[in-house]
């Protein structure tokens, strides 16, 4: 069977929720399998690591990071709106 080559670029978007470290990623694609909305393109299809082809569709659920067997191979950056929810009450109290 002949393989049909293809290329796939990331859809331009104002957010970049995920980054992959090519030095740590082993290309197992566990993160890709964990993503329920198929945001990620598998490692080996286009790049050596997975990548988010549709970053604006990411739910920031963190499943891809939780399933990754290698610490630091994939990093999820929450938008500022989400980060505000994780501010520890103690640090807020100290500033007041």
CB of residue 48 to ligand SF4, shortest distance in Å: 9
CB of residue 86 to ligand SF4, shortest distance in Å: 15
- Considering the complex, state which of residue 71 and residue 96 has its C-beta at the smaller distance from ligand SF4: 71
Build a one-symbol-per-residue string for 24-63: x at contacts with ligand SF4 by CB under 6 A, - elsewhere. Answer: -xxxxxxx--xx-x-xx--x-----xx-x-----xxxxxx
Residue with tokens 């393989």: 3
Tokens of 30: 């566990």
Give the Cα separation of 33 and 63 in Å (integer).
Answer: 10
CB of residue 45 to ligand SF4, shortest distance in Å: 11
How many Cβ atoms sit within 10 Å of the Cβ of residue 57? 14
Q: Which uninterrupted H or E stretch holds 20?
A: strand 18-20
What angle (nearest 5°) sits at the alpha carbon of residue 34, between those of residues 29 and 68?
55
The site for ligand SF4 (CB under 6 A) is made up of 18, 20, 25-31, 34-35, 37, 39-40, 43, 49-50, 52, 58-64, 67-68, 70, 73-74, 76
């Amino acid at each position: 069977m002949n393989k049909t080559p293809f290329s796939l670029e990331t859809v331009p978007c104002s957010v970049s929720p995920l980054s992959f470290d090519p030095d740590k990623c082993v290309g197992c694609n566990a993160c890709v399998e964990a993503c329920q909305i198929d945001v990620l393109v598998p490692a080996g299809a286009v790049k050596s690591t997975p990548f988010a082809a549709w970053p604006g569709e990411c739910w920031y659920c963190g499943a891809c990071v939780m399933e990754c067997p290698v610490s630091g191979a994939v990093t999820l950056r929450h938008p500022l709106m989400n980060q505000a929810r994780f501010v520890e009450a103690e640090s807020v109290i100290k500033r007041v």
